[in-house]
Amino acid sequence: MLILKELHETIDALTAEAYGWPADLSDDEILERLVALNAERAREEAQGHVRWLRPDYQIPRFATGKAAKSGELALPETVVAIDAGKPAFPTDRTEQPLSVEGILIASGRPMAAAEIARAFKRGGKRIEPRVAEALAMLARYGHVTALPDGRFAARRAA
């Protein structure tokens, strides 16, 4: 077990060094830095700057047009790197229950179908019936709990 612990510590130290971070960061600090780094890379890619890990292999296979030559992606002006707003309600009915459950879990409190519907972009009355269907299905399979007052609660992880 000591060898394994030593190997993990070596990997952690080398990874921190590769990122240019102190080796003594807490898990929360590492997560914060990774989220910030991910947001920065998304902004760069939206502006056309892609950091290829294996350019000789990736550019011919995945880059198109100018991106293959200049490293720029051909993106329309409307592309936004990160949308901090509400999520879009999926058009695919198989994805809708997962999205509904995600909103319920993220809220951390019981919610009614109307409230969940308003948590989506262009949501509200238009999608409320589909949200209600998704909630009924999630309750049927034990993913959420239907409360007597018409709200639903996410199942707590053990």
CA distance 71 to 66: 7
Compute the 3-state secondary structure of the chain and give helix, strand, coil in percent, each to the nearest 5.
50, 5, 40
- CATH number of the domain at 136, please: 1.10.10
pLDDT the model gives residue 146: 93
The H or E element spanning position 15 is: helix 2-19
Q: Which residue has the higher pLDDT, 78 or 38?
A: 38
CA 20 to chain CA mean position, Å: 25
Q: Which residue has the higher pLDDT, 157 or 5?
A: 5
Residue 30 maps to a domain: yes
The tokens for 64 are 């198109």
The H or E element spanning position 153 is: strand 152-154
**Do both 8 and 64 map to the same domain?**
yes
pLDDT the model gives residue 86: 83
Residue 147 predicted with pLDDT over 90: yes
User: In the chain, pLDDT over 90 holds for what percent of residues?
Assistant: 28
Handedness of CA 93, 94, 100, 102 (dihedral sign): negative
Residue 97 pLDDT level (bands cut at 50, 70, 90): very high
**Do both 17 and 57 map to the same domain?**
yes
Tell me the average pLDDT of the chain: 81
The tens digit of pLDDT for each residue in 55-66 reads 777 777 776 654
Count structural domains, the chain.
2
Residue 149 predicted with pLDDT over 50: yes
**Do both 6 and 62 map to the same domain?**
yes
Average pLDDT of the segment spanning 120-131:
88
Average pLDDT of the segment spanning 26-30:
85
Contact 46, 75 (CB under 8 A): yes
Residue 140 pLDDT level (bands cut at 50, 70, 90): very high
Q: What angle do CA 121, 116, 153 make, to 5 degrees?
A: 150
Residue 80 maps to a domain: no
Residue type, position 102, single letter = G
147 is in which domain, residue-wise?
Answer: 96-154
Residue 131 maps to a domain: yes
* Residue in the block written with tokens 């830095």: 33
Residue 117 maps to a domain: yes
- pTM here? 0.47
